[in-house]
Structure 1
Amino acid sequence: MLLDSEFIALLKSSTPRLLNLLEGFSQVKVLVVGDLTLDEFMTGQVERISREAPVLILRHENTDRVPGGGANAVYNFAKLGAKVRVVGLVGKDEQGMALRQIFDDAGVDTTGILVDSDRPTVTKTRISGHARQSVTQQIVRVDRKSDDLPGVDLQSQLAELIQQQVGKVDAVVCSDYGDGVLTKPTIEASVSHSHRIIVDTQKNLERYRGASLFTPNLPEAEHAVGYTISDFDTLYRAGSDLLKLTDAQQILITRGDEGMSLFDRLAPSEFSPPPFTISGNGGESIYCWHIPAFNRTDVFDVTGAGDTVVAALTLALGAGASTWEAAVIGNLAASVVVRKFGTATTTVDELRETLEVLVG
C-alpha cells in the first residue's frame, strides 16, 4: 500500500466514523436503473487439435455465471447489504432466467425487470482453456446482444416502473452501458426527482443533466470534455467543465493507479479535510480533493471495479457520509475487488478488515 504518512494519519483520524458509516449500509434503500448483462465464464482442458479445423478441442469442466454491466452494480449493492431494487430488461431466454435467479438469491427486488421477447439478454461468454499443469487463459469471447432499442411501449413501461419505485428509495443509480435501457423516457423519470441521483455512464453525460453526482473514469472524462487530461491543470479544467456540462453537484473522476479526484460545488462538510479550491466557469468556488489509490501493487483484474465504486459511494452517502468520506469508501472498495478475478464484489466485512489493515 503506497500511501504517504500524511494521508495515513488523515485516514486514521477518520476511521471510527468510516467504520460507523459501513454499519449503516444495511439501512440504505437504492433503485438501480441499468443495462443488465450476464457474464459467463466457461473453462475446459485442451484435449487435442480438431481434425475439422485448426482449433482447440476443450473438454468442458465448468461454467460460472455472474452479473455483469449494470447487473454487476445491482449485485454489488446486494453484497454490501443494501435494500436494492432494479429496473431493467432481460430477454425471453435461459440467460434472463439465470440472471433473475441470481438476483432473487441475493435478495434483490426484481419486480422492475421486464422481459423483451424481441431482444436477447445481453450475455458475454468468455471461453478459457488450459493444458495439464498450465494456467488457464481466455481463448475467445462470444457476445449476445441487440443493437436495436427496446420498443416505445417497453420504454414507457420502464419509465412508469421508475416513477412507481423512486419514492421508496434513498438514492437512484443510473448504470448506463449503452445497451438500450437508458433512453430519454427512463432518464427523465430517473433524474426528475429530488433524490440523490448517481450516474455511471460511458458517454453522453449531458443526457443526465441535473443528476447529483457523476463517476466517469479518466478516458470517459476526456471524451466528454474533448481534450487530454495530462496534468493537474487540465484535470482541474476538466472537473470544472464537467460540472458545467452536467449541472451536477459533484464529479468524481476515477484515475486508475493515480486514485480519484473529487470536484464538489457544495461547501465542505465538517467531516472532510481542507480542500483545494479552484474557480469554476461561472466564477463559483469548486472544492477539490485527491484520494490516492489504496492498492497499486496487488491489481489482478479491474473488471467491474467502477460498479463497486458506485455502490460503496452511494451507500456511504445514504448512510450520512460527506462526499469526501463516500469517495474514500468507494476507493477502499475498489482496492478490494481489483485483487479478484473477473466481475467481482466485496462485503462490509472485507471493507472493515481492509481499512483496519491500511491504518495499522
Structure 2
Amino acid sequence: MALDRSFTKQLTAAADQLFHYLEQFSQAKVLVVGDLTLDEFLTGQVERISREAPVLIIRHENTRQVPGGGANAVYNFAQLGAQVKAVGLIGKDEQGQVIREIFASAGIDTQGVLVDAQRPTVTKTRISGHARQSVTQQIVRVDRKSDEPPDLELQLQLAQYIQQHQDTVDAVVCSDYGDGTLTQLVTAAALQHPCTIVDTQKELNRYRGALLFTPNLPEAEQAVGYAIATPQDLSRAGRDLLDLTEAQNILITRGEAGMTLFEQSGGEFHIPAFNRTDVFDVTGAGDTVVAALTLGLTAGASVWEAAVLGNLAASIVVRQFGTATTTTSEIKLALQNLLN
C-alpha cells in the first residue's frame, strides 16, 4: 500500500531506530492488570434443522481456546518477548485453569492471578458452522461472566501485589474490558507507576493522570460525548480527552483511517494505516497496539515511534481470523516491506 510521501520520509528516517527498539523488546519487564478472559471457538458442520425447534444441528469438529480480553493483552506482551507479570482474577473452574496453563506455557508470571471462587472466569464462546464446501460462519456467541464486583479482600490483594511489584517493572498496563477487575482500589495502585498505559472501553476519567491512553474511535466518542466526523472534530476530541484524563498523551486508533497521537505539549500526529486491503478480523488488534507501543516506550522510543510500532503490529494481526498475536520477527519484516 502506498503511503503519503511525507510520512514515508519520516518512516525512512526513523527506520534504524525502530529496528533497534524491536531488538530491545525482550529486555522489557511489564506488569499487566486486566480482565482475564478465555475466548472459545467451537466449529462444526451443519447437518440439518432440528425437529425440536427451528435451529441448526451442528456436528462438533473442533474447539480452540485462546486468551481474550485482558488475557490477550498479557499474551501479546509474552509473544513479543517481554517478561510479563499478569494480574487479574479467574474463576475456580476449568476455563480459569486453561488460562493459567496457556500463560505458564508462554513463560508468563501468574503469581498475581488470583482465584475468585464466587465468580466464573469470563468466557466468550463463539459457535460457528459450515455446510459442505462453504465458508465457516459464526452463528451465536455465549458469554459467561458475573456482574457482581469481586470481594473486597481480593481487591486488596490485587492492589497489594501491584504495589509490591511496580518497582520491578518498566511499565504497568491497565486492560479494562469492564468485567470488574479494575476497581477503584486496583486502579489507584496501578496509577502509582510513572509509566502507566491505559486501554479501557469506558470511564477514561477513572484513570486520570496516566501516561498514555489508547481509545478507539467509538470509545473516544463516548468519552467526549459527541461524534467525531471531521478532522476538526478529531482535533477537538484529542484536546478534550487530554483535559478529561490529564494524560501526557492520547492515541486514538481509527481502524482503516490509521491513528492520531495527541500530546499534552500540543503536538498532533497522524499515522496512516499500514494495511487496508487484507483486513479479515480486528478482534484483539487494540491489545496488540498497546503491547508493541508499550514495549517501544520501555526501549526508549518517542511516543510517535512507539505508536508506529503499535500500528505495524496491528497491521499483521488483522490479517488473521480470531484473536491473534504477532512477533518481533514479523514486525521487522512488515517494516522492511514498507521501506522497500
Pick the TM interval, shorter chain: over 0.9
Tell me which stretches of 4 or more aligned residues in structure 1 moved more than 4 Å.
none
In the other structure, the counterpart of 1:342 is 322
Amino acid at match of 1:18: L
Question: Paired residue for 1:319, among 292, 299, 310?
Answer: 299
SS in 1 for 2:287: helix
Amino acid at match of 2:60: H
Identity %: 70
- Deviation track 1:219-256 (CA, whole Å, cap 9, x = no partner) reads 11111111111212221111111111111110101111
Measured in 2, the distance between the counterparts of 1:192 and 1:14 equals 32
Measured in 2, the distance between the counterparts of 1:322 and 1:338 equals 25
Measured in 2, the distance between the counterparts of 1:234 and 1:46 equals 47
- Aligned-pair CA distance for 1:5: 2.4
Confirm whether residue 257 of structure 1 aligns to residue 256 of structure 2. yes
Measured in 2, the distance between the counterparts of 1:101 and 1:119 equals 19
Measured in 2, the distance between the counterparts of 1:54 and 1:264 equals 55
In the other structure, the counterpart of 1:220 is 219
In the other structure, the counterpart of 1:273 is none
- Deviation track 1:37-58 (CA, whole Å, cap 9, x = no partner) reads 0000001111222222222221
In the other structure, the counterpart of 2:116 is 116
Q: Write out aligned runs for 1:1-360 (5 A).
A: 1-193=1-193, 195-265=194-264, 285-360=265-340
- Aligned-pair CA distance for 1:6: 2.4
- Aligned-pair CA distance for 1:9: 2.4
- Aligned-pair CA distance for 1:291: 0.5
TM norm structure 1? 0.93
Measured in 2, the distance between the counterparts of 1:239 and 1:57 equals 49
- Aligned-pair CA distance for 1:2: 3.6
Structure 2 stretches lacking a partner, 5+ long: none
Measured in 1, the distance between the counterparts of 2:238 and 2:128 equals 40
- Deviation track 1:93-143 (CA, whole Å, cap 9, x = no partner) reads 000000110000001000000000110000000011111111111111111
Measured in 2, the distance between the counterparts of 1:25 and 1:155 equals 30
Q: Which is further off, 158-167 or 30-39?
A: 158-167
Measured in 2, the distance between the counterparts of 1:342 and 1:171 equals 27
Measured in 1, the distance between the counterparts of 2:162 and 2:11 equals 38
Is contact 1:2–1:296 with CA below 8 Å preserved after alignment? no
Is contact 1:162–1:189 with CA below 8 Å preserved after alignment? yes
- Aligned-pair CA distance for 1:349: 0.5
Measured in 1, the distance between the counterparts of 2:38 and 2:213 equals 24
TM norm structure 2? 0.98
Measured in 2, the distance between the counterparts of 1:87 and 1:164 equals 12
Measured in 2, the distance between the counterparts of 1:160 and 1:311 equals 24
Measured in 1, the distance between the counterparts of 2:137 and 2:337 equals 32
Q: How many residue pairs align between the two structures?
A: 340
Amino acid at match of 1:104: A
